[in-house]
Amino acid sequence: MADKSLKKDQVKNLLNKIAQSNQLIAPILSDGITLFKPVQSGEGVVLDYQNAVVPPKDFFFPQSEKMFSYDMSDPSWAIKPEEGVPNRVLFGARPCDVKSILLLDKVFDAEFRDDFYIDKRNKTTIVAISCNDCRHTCFCGAFGISPGKAEGADLLLTDLGDRYLVEVLTDKGETLAANCSDLFSNDDGSGAAAKEKATAPALEKQMKIDLEGVKAKLDNMFDHPMWAAESLRCIGCGTCTFVCPTCHCFDIVDFNNQSSVGYRYRCADSCQFANFTRAAGGHQPRPSKMERTRQRFMHKLRYFVDRYGDFGCVGCGRCLEKCPVNLDIAQIINKVKEVG
């Protein structure tokens, strides 16, 4: 489908229309921070935000998610599965966050098929929005992501000042666009060039990190003293992993409150926590901060590449901005290149 144009004053109408027949998930300002939340209408949705504190990953892989429930007093002992999600539109996701969903697909929708994830993925249409500006911690370019492209999105909006350029990227996007066609006009052909100009500052301003040779070097750095040195300042919290759009480790826990009724849930876990790898009997394969810090960076920059052919990081910059002790993955990448 040809590119469309959406007037700025029509955005709220578009959101309202989407919300009529879908669950709408969009960035809002909540107590001073930007978060993706389900919203009833376009009221309060912010599209000029730079980066949500927590990525929209939560709507595909919730931090906490019920898997099934049961009632043992029921003679059939039937397991009650959870209901799936309604049709949803994730509106206003940034290109890095969209890419992170493609990376999660490699984990949850490949060799092992995760029904919980796939249900949410299938029922969600993703409307991405290009970046005209970026945070001081952004470095998506290092991973081949561009502020003006959003592979994996169904529609891509770009703020051109007075209007949005709307690019239809998939069939799902085409369906959504067709349903709202009265709000769009056809792009007059100037959109593509205007988009390049609009997104240039984000490309220019972001940190330039070169990953050339990093993976190959890390292949031989498992026992490097750098990990011990860098991990000293880590306080072992889970901030980096919980604000990360690609971290996906989880734990599974049964809850039954000592009654016949109970449920099983899974919740995000963090490789930075000491009890993440603690095994029955007390064995601890990652006994200190050194092993845990190494694991995080190795997973992003080496193991993920080995397993899935892509880096497990999208350069969103959340972990380096939020780390209480300035353990900065961009700085780590540069150090990996420097050390002998």
Partner 1 sequence: MNKVTENLRKTAAKLLQDKEVDMVIGYGLGSEAVRTQPVFITSPDDVDKLVWNPFCVNGLTKYLSDMKDHPGKMAVVVKGCDSRGIYRLAQDSIIPRDKVVVIGIPCAGQLSYTKLASKIDVSGQLKDVEEKGEDVVIKTSKGDFTVKKSEVFLDKCTTCEHHNPVVADHVVGDAINTCPTPDNYDEIKKYEAMSPEEKAKFWLSQFGRCIRCYACRNTCPGCTCRECVFDAIKPDWVGKEIDVSENELFHLTRAFHLAGRCVDCGECDRVCPMDIPIRLLNKKLLKDCKELFNMETPGSTEEGGSVIGQYRLEDPEEFM
143, 99 contact by CB (below 8 A): yes
> Scanning residues 181 to 220, which ones bind partner 1 (CB under 8 A)?
207
Is 73 an interacting residue with respect to partner 1 (CB under 8 A)? Answer: no
Only segment of 20-28, 154-162, 216-224, 235-243 that touches partner 1 (CB under 8 A): 235-243
Q: Judge contact between 37 and 88, C-beta under 8 A.
A: no
The reply to whether 256 sits near partner 1 by the rule CB under 8 A is no
Q: In whole angstroms, how large is the CA radius of gyration of the chain? A: 22
Nearer to partner 1 (CB atom), residue 178 or residue 229: 229
274 forms part of the interface with partner 1 (CB under 8 A): yes
The candidate with the shortest Cα–Cα distance to 158, out of 105, 101, 112, 198, is 198
Instruction: By CB under 8 A, name the one of 238, 277, 291, 337 that touches partner 1.
Output: 238
Q: Which of 39, 54, 176, 336 binds partner 1 (CB under 8 A)?
A: 54
Cα–Cα distance, 56 to 112 (Å, whole number): 22
Q: What is the 3-class SS of 18-48, one letter each residue?
A: HHHHCEEEEEEEECCEEEEEEECCCCCECCC
Pick the stretch among 31-39, 75-83, 107-115, 164-172 that binds partner 1 (CB under 8 A): 31-39
Does 267 participate in binding partner 1 (rule CB under 8 A)? yes
Strands (E), 135-260: 155-159, 163-168, 184-186, 250-255
Residue (53 or 102) nearer to partner 1, CB: 53
Q: How many CA atoms lie within 13 A of 329 on its CB side?
A: 32
Residues that bind partner 1 (CB under 8 A): 30-33, 35, 53-54, 63-64, 136-137, 207, 232-233, 235-239, 241-243, 251, 253, 255, 265, 267-270, 273-275, 320-322, 324-328, 330-331
